[in-house]
Amino acid sequence: MELREVLEEVTIRRGAGFLANDPLEYPRRYSHPRDREVAAFISAALAYGRVASIRNSLETLFALMGSSPARFVADFDPRRDGARLAGFKHRFNTGRDIACLCWLLRGMLEEAGSLEGFFRAGDDPGSPDIGPGLAAFCRRALALDVSPLYGRPDLPVEAGVRYFFPSPQGGSACKRLCMFLRWVCRPDDGLDLGLWTGVAPSRLVVPLDTHTARISRLLGLSRRKGPGWKMALEVTESLRRLDPTDPVRYDFALAHLGISEGCTGRRGEWCVACPVAGMCSVDYRE
């Protein structure tokens, strides 16, 4: 079998039934597109750390937000709602960081009507990938007035909310933001949400994490060692040769080969049943 066929098979086999291990489960709980968009951004923002910790934090946060995350954000009052978030903590992000995130999301909605509108206002549709648009999105989001939270219009350098808006200009792989864009830009296939129509899936960049980076190197999709923006672009370009119009469709398969199949990058018992056995560089090592 060709690599494309194997990745297609893994995507189908590991599809919607495995959402329980993916933060994409949370936006899919809502039916309204506005709620899904806001819930998707928040779910992606907190998708770092152990799966159990991510799930616990998202369950807590969405319970606080009630039946409509979009309404919660649109009506967000730093004094009233910030107090409700005061005890929240996800690893090194605090309730104040989440309050600031909600305030920034409110600002985006007020300015552009939707997160898509805010993103597209700084995007260049002619760019081959979403890198420039993503950099503009982060820059403009972090430039919004935060006076109600910090008593000054500009965001302090040490503000924890900045962790949710890494820029590719700094070399970051921007894994969580690229994951959010995958969710909202790709068609609804039972996994992704198909919410945005103004950003072509062909321009998306693979959400590169340690699992995807390891599998990508083993499959020859990249020779880079550091999982930064340049490696993300290189992996995406390799996947574009498999599907020029939708290269990141295989992201779910690559990530879950590392997570669900138990790959460590070294030969082991998991190699026997691995779907990419025979295509992986582990097979050619001494």
For residue 211, is pLDDT > 90?
no
Give yes or no for residue 90 having a pLDDT over 90: yes
Residue 108 has pLDDT above 50, yes or no: yes
Q: How far apart are CA 170 and CA 266, in angstroms?
A: 31
User: Who has greater pLDDT, 231 or 263?
Assistant: 231
If residue 90 lies in a helix (H) or strand (E), which one and from where to where?
A: strand 89-90
| Percentage of the chain exceeding pLDDT 70 | 87
> Residue 173 to residues 168, 169, 210, 213, 230: CA-CA distances in angstroms?
6, 10, 11, 10, 8
Q: What is the DSSP letter of 85?
A: T
Q: Of 9, 76, 15, give the one whose Cα is nearest residue 42.
A: 76
Residue 262 pLDDT more than 80? no
Rounded mean pLDDT, 46-74: 96
The predicted structure's pLDDT at residue 284:
42
71: confidence class by pLDDT, cuts 50, 70, 90: very high
Q: For the whole model, what pTM was predicted?
A: 0.92
In sequence order, the 6+-apart residues with CB closer than 8 A to the CB of 192 are 24, 182, 183, 184, 185, 186
Extract the tokens encoding 126.
């002619």
Range of the structural domain that residue 108 is part of: 3-284
Q: pLDDT of 148-198, one tens digit each? A: 999 999 999 999 999 999 999 999 999 999 999 999 999 998 889 999 999
Coil, helix or strand for 93? strand
With 50 as the cut, is the pLDDT of residue 99 above it? Answer: yes
CA torsion, points 32, 35, 37, 39, in degrees to nearest 10?
Answer: -140
Look over the chain and give the mean of its residue pLDDT values, rounded to a whole number: 90
- Please say if the pLDDT value at position 26 is more than 70: yes
Residue 56 to residues 51, 67, 90, 211, Cα–Cα distance (Å): 9, 18, 9, 22
Q: Mean of the pLDDT values across residues 258-275?
A: 59
Give the pLDDT of residue 285: 44
Higher pLDDT, 262 or 241: 241
Residue predicted with more confidence, 7 or 73: 73
| Residues 161 and 100 sit within 8 Å (Cβ to Cβ) | yes
| Structure tokens given for 134 | 């993503």
Cα dihedral sign for 23, 18, 67, 59?
A: negative
pLDDT bucket at 7, cuts 50 / 70 / 90:
confident
Quickly state the pLDDT bin for 273 (edges 50, 70, 90): low
